[in-house]
Amino acid sequence: MNSINTSNNTCIRALRDEERTELLASARSLNFKAGELVVKKGTSVNDLYLLQKGTVELLMDEQRPRQSLMLLFQGEIIGVNCAYSTMNYRFSARALTDCVVLIINYHTFSAYLKQNTEFSMAFIRYISLVNERFLDWHMKLSQKNSAGALAFLLCEFEKSYGQSSFELPLNRSDIARVIGFSKESVLKNLAHFRNEGIVESTGKKVKILDSSRLLDISNYG
């Protein structure tokens, strides 16, 4: 059980060794295929879902695939904000890639929060940072034009994957939904980036050639 990798989540690391061992003993790992629903909006929070591997998309509504909240990469607890507010998921999470999710018992987790002050302070810090990132994501996208928003998303992938060459887990319509613009705007801006030599792209394969210029477009928009 100790082989389960939790080192990419800052607040789990704040647990004492024996607590972490015990918590992970009660946890189980689950696999999701790309496209599967990991969390359904409206359901109650019985467990915490730590995304160990893969990328998920948070959605306001599965039906109308209009409003995408943001993307989560490995190391994040999915919908952690809902766990201690309404205790109901306020959005759905869909796997964009094949994912490995660690299911952690909510009550066990809460018990440690009450028991271990170091842990609860680390958790407060963790959710504050998560919410900051959440807000940043939204501020950035809503204040940008279509080119800036696309540049921002590409930069986020580059940062999260840690490499300038990667494969997007999204098709063009998906990208459009995530950044909140039309598919055509995405295509035209991507074509523009290609013509300007800022990125190379064939289908979902993307290589960022001029990272600083892309960041400029992202910040300027």
Partner DNA sequence: TTTCAGGGGTGTAAAATTACACCCTTTGAG
Partner DNA sequence: CTCAAAGGGTGTAATTTTACACCCCTGAAA
The footprint of a second copy (CB under 8 A) covers 60, 66-67, 69, 81-86, 90, 110, 113-114, 117, 120-121, 123-125, 127-129, 131-132, 134-135, 138-139, 141-143, 180
Of residues 145, 160, 164, 211, which one binds DNA by CB under 7 A? Answer: 145
Query: Torsion angle, CA of 109/115/121/123, rounded to 10 degrees?
Result: 0
Segment lying near DNA (by CB under 7 A), choices 44-52, 102-110, 123-131, 139-147: 139-147
Nearest to 174 by CA among 159, 189, 187: 187
**Which CB sits closer to a second copy, 11 or 206?**
11
Helix (H, G, I), strand (E, B) or coil at 31: strand
Q: Which two tokens stand for residue 218?
A: 């992202």
Residue 127 binds which entry of DNA, a second copy, none, CB below 5-8 Å type-dependent? a second copy
Residue 202 contact partner, candidates a second copy, DNA, none, CB within 5 to 8 A by sort of partner: DNA
* Contacts of residue 15, Cβ cutoff 8 Å, sequence gap at least 6: 23, 112, 116, 119
Residue 156 C-beta: closest distance to a second copy, Å:
17
Q: How far is the CB of 201 from a second copy (least distance, A)?
A: 27
Residue 204 binding result from a second copy, DNA, none, given CB thresholds of 5 to 8 Å by partner type: DNA
For 12-67, list the strands marked E by DSSP: 28-32, 37-39, 47-53, 56-59
Identify the CA nearest to 212 among candidates 161, 139, 151, 163. Answer: 151
What interhelical angle do 146-161 and 211-220 show, nearest 10?
Answer: 130
Region label for 194, one of left (φ > 0), alpha (ψ between -120 and 50) or beta (otherwise) = alpha
Residues in 155-214 at the binding interface with DNA, rule: CB under 7 A: 171-173, 180-182, 184-185, 187-188, 190-191, 201-204
Least distance from a second copy to the Cβ atom of residue 221, Å: 13
Query: Which residues bind to DNA, rule: CB under 7 A?
Result: 145-147, 171-173, 180-182, 184-185, 187-188, 190-191, 201-204
